[in-house]
Amino acid sequence: MQTPIQITFRDIPQSDALETRIREKADKLEAFYPGIVSCRVVVESRDRHKHQGKEFCVRIEMHIPQHDITINRDHHEDVYVALRDAFSAATRKLEDVGRVQRGKVKAHTRSKPPAAE
């Protein structure tokens, strides 16, 4: 990455273990798609209901040449599962963008209507 990853925690205490996991997953993304210019990760806690505990939301914002990618994964009670789901979605999105950039996407031909007689 051209700029270092930015990690923000909202409404939860900063955790070195969680920050390390985020950096590991971001490094895997960069190894998968080396063209990432910048990456920002926001981990947030939201109160769902008092009797059901808290939910965690993970937002990943990436900038790659010619694209801005934003991934939101909301509402999971385990922060590590929310993080895993968000980075899995980011990997799939980078796969899609890479396929388009390489021209590996099928172009559907448009069928012409039958000629009028």
Q: Which structure tokens are listed for 37?
A: 């210019």
Burial of residue 4 (CB within 10 Å: 0-12, 13-18, 19+) is exposed
Cβ atoms within 10 Å, residue 78: 10
CATH class for the domain made up of 6-101: alpha beta
pLDDT given for residue 107 in this prediction: 63
pLDDT given for residue 62 in this prediction: 93
* Domain locations in the chain as residue ranges: 6-101
100 vs 12: which has the higher pLDDT: 12
The mean per-residue pLDDT over the stretch 28-52 comes to 82
Cβ atoms within 10 Å, residue 50: 6
pLDDT given for residue 49 in this prediction: 58
Strand order across the 38-49 sheet: 6-10, 38-49, 53-64, 67-76
pLDDT given for residue 84 in this prediction: 92
Q: What percentage of the chain reaches a pLDDT higher than 70?
A: 81
Is 115 a residue whose pLDDT tops 70? no
The mean per-residue pLDDT over the stretch 40-46 comes to 91
Residue with tokens 């950039």: 101
Residue with tokens 């769902």: 48
The four Cα atoms 36, 4, 25, 66 give a dihedral, to 10 degrees, of -20
Identify the band that residue 20 occupies on the pLDDT scale cut at 50, 70 and 90.
Answer: very high
99 vs 12: which has the higher pLDDT: 12
